[in-house]
Structure 1
């Protein structure tokens, strides 16, 4: 693999001036919405805060989406990640366990004063099964080492 990586013209799509840094993952109060009970996680850089206003807006958006059926949960358990990406960008990732071992996800993004918009149109999508997450975790660790 090292030889193949060395043949790449760039650094694997990483901008030369990019500097990787750690982020904090903090649990917050769980969220119960129509059809789902979700653990809540805030993800942010150490110098930023997820304010009550930011979190409340995201919670209200998910509750409204579940109530209207735009986000159709079916008696599910899962998690939500509210990720402050930097600048004015926020990601809201709603994930539920389906088919016993698969993690499904709906991703929303919000920029500035705009509203949350779905990133991939359509329904809740499968991401990884419980066994695939081991490889994802391994790759996350390897990619983080590479970025550092």
Structure 2
């Protein structure tokens, strides 16, 4: 829960390289102490990329059908917090093929929410509809 957003949480990683609890806590702390301008309903992806590089991607749905995004990163084990990922070029990176798995699931569940009554029971159904990938 952020001041203006409700987010589902996803961890993306190789089965042999779990995300350490300390890094998950650091990512959650980042969002609670320096919340992005995200508002509405959405999801966060904490992606371990290799040995010690992580992306923290915050996505929210706006205007019913638009997915908005803020991206943070942690570059190595010595980094004590996440920082905004620089995106000052015209052609920007968006998502890798592995991050698209929870994004695809969220697109499907958001579409179901949009075609619902959009009331509290529908919002709770959306909130609890999360993807859990293979554990091996």
**Scaled by the length of structure 1, what TM-score is found?**
0.55
CA RMSD of aligned residues (A): 2.2
Q: What does the per-residue CA deviation read over 1:25-80, in whole Å, with 9 as the maximum and x for residues that have no partner? A: xxxxxxx11111100000001101122211111000011112xxxx1233x00000
> In the TM superposition, what is the alpha-carbon distance from 1:121 to its structure 2 partner?
5.4
> In the TM superposition, what is the alpha-carbon distance from 1:120 to its structure 2 partner?
3.6
| Structure 1 segments unaligned to the other structure (5+ residues) | 1-31, 128-132, 138-148
2:71 maps to 107
1:81 maps to 45
1:46 maps to 15
Extract structure 1 runs of 4+ deviating beyond 2 A.
none
**Scaled by the length of structure 2, what TM-score is found?**
0.60
Secondary structure of the residue aligned to 2:22 is: helix
2:24 maps to 55
| Structure 2 segments unaligned to the other structure (5+ residues) | 89-93, 95-99, 105-136
Would you say how many aligned residue pairs link Structure 1 and Structure 2? 90
Task: Between the two structures, name the one with larger relative contact order (CA 8 Å, sep ≥ 6).
Answer: 2
Q: What does the per-residue CA deviation read over 1:106-136, in whole Å, with 9 as the maximum and x for residues that have no partner? A: 01111112231111458xxxx7xxxxx9xx9
- The structure that has the greater radius of gyration is 1
